[in-house]
């Protein structure tokens, strides 16, 4: 690992929760304004996290605690590999492992709502995993490398070569970040469901680690969005930041205007977008690389 990569990892580990809480706070305020409400304080998500860790440490069983901790570790590890400039395939595989551990934690409590949430989370993984892997392949075909440190050395933004992959990735990002209409496994909004589903039986610091993992994961996913725009020119970081803001606003808008769909609709929509957007872009890149 280079010195720059090490510094990037340290920054990621230290400030990612604050950045993600700020993004989530802005999203809540924007949502409230769209619904004609005042909304919570900007940093309310951070206050909620701190409050969870201040509560008594309880869990349904010891295995639940271990699995949630493993979920948090792999979520943080995947982001650390990404911002260190490592292999993007390793990043995506580690992120998948994080989700698997969260699903196992939900199954371990032997509760109806948690098990239903776990089943829906597996369906969501089936919906978005093909597109995430195609995106990694797209980066390789465009740059000849899976390493993030090589990908960001391009002379032109990869969005020019990978518009289909970008559209597909942004689409499955709605599923990955559990936004409506694809928040089947669990919801962040009380007006959509009272029972949390996947994380319904988590409480106190155990739930706090689950939420912390989600914050790190959110920064990672937005980092991948920015990867489509970052080049060897340092000024490209401004363009990447602008693209991330636009994507987040579109996701917030989608979250507020679309009702939740059934799992069949989610799978159908995700695979259609993966096939036509990602698949078509893959064919074009393959032909250009001959």
One digit per residue, the tens of pLDDT, for the chain of length 290 reads 677 778 888 999 999 999 999 988 888 888 888 777 877 888 888 888 889 888 887 777 888 899 999 999 999 999 999 999 989 999 999 999 999 999 999 888 888 888 888 888 899 999 999 999 999 999 999 998 999 999 999 999 999 999 999 999 999 999 988 888 888 777 665 545 546 677 878 888 888 999 999 999 999 999 999 999 999 998 999 999 999 999 998 988 888 888 888 888 899 999 999 999 999 999 999 888 77
Q: What pLDDT does residue 202 have? A: 82
Distance of alpha carbon 78 from alpha carbon 230, whole angstroms: 19
Say which DSSP state 275 is in.
Answer: I
Nearest 10 degrees: Cα torsion 10, 16, 19, 24: 180
Distance of alpha carbon 138 from alpha carbon 136, whole angstroms: 5
**Which token pair is 50?**
């701190």
**Sequence-ordered alpha helix ranges (H) in 55-111:** 62-83, 88-108
Tally the C-alpha atoms within 13 A of residue 92's C-alpha that lie toward its C-beta. 21
Q: What pLDDT does residue 66 have? A: 92
Q: What pLDDT does residue 139 have? A: 95
Q: pTM for the full model?
A: 0.91
Q: What pLDDT does residue 15 have? A: 92
Q: What pLDDT does residue 193 have? A: 52
Q: Measure CA 52 to chain center.
A: 22
Query: Left if phi > 0, otherwise alpha if psi is -120 to 50, otherwise beta: which for 24?
Result: alpha
- Which residue from 19, 21, 20, 40 is spatially nearest to 29, judged by alpha carbons? 40
**Which token pair is 145?**
């490398």
Cβ-contact 23, 248 below 8 angstroms: yes
**Which token pair is 205?**
């610091």
Rg (CA), the chain: 19
Distance of alpha carbon 8 from alpha carbon 149, whole angstroms: 12
Cβ-contact 124, 185 below 8 angstroms: yes
Q: What pLDDT does residue 1 have? A: 63
**Which token pair is 180?**
């409506």
**Which token pair is 222?**
């937005």
Say which DSSP state 278 is in.
Answer: I
Q: Measure CA 189 to chain center.
A: 17
- Which residue from 6, 288, 5, 33 is spatially nearest to 160, judged by alpha carbons? 288
């Amino acid at each position: 690992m280079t010195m720059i990569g090490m510094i990037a990892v340290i920054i990621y580990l230290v400030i990612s929760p604050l950045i993600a809480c700020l993004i989530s706070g802005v999203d809540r305020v924007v949502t409230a304004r769209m619904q004609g409400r005042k909304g919570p304080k900007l940093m309310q998500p951070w206050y909620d996290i701190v409050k969870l860790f201040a509560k008594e440490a309880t869990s349904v069983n010891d295995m639940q605690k271990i699995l949630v901790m493993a979920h948090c570790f792999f979520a943080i590890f995947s982001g650390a590999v990404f911002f260190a400039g490592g292999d993007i395939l390793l990043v995506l595989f580690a992120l998948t492992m994080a989700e698997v551990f969260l699903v196992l934690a939900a199954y371990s409590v032997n509760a109806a709502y948690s098990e239903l949430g776990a089943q829906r989370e597996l369906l969501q993984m089936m919906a978005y995993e093909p597109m995430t892997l195609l995106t990694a392949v797209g980066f390789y075909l465009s740059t000849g490398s899976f390493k993030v440190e090589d990908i960001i050395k391009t002379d032109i933004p990869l969005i020019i070569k990978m518009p289909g992959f970008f559209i597909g990735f942004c689409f499955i990002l709605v599923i990955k970040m559990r936004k409506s209409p694809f928040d089947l496994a669990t919801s962040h909004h009380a007006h959509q469901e009272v029972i949390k589903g996947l994380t319904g039986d988590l409480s106190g610091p155990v739930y706090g680690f689950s939420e912390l993992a989600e914050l790190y994961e959110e920064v990672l996913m937005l980092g991948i969005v920015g990867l489509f725009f970052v080049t060897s020119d340092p000024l490209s970081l401004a363009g990447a930041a602008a693209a991330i803001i636009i994507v987040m606003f579109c996701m917030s808008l989608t979250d507020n205007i679309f009702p939740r769909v059934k799992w069949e609709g989610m799978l159908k929509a995700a695979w259609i977008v993966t096939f036509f957007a990602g698949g078509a872009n893959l064919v074009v890149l393959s032909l250009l690389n001959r």
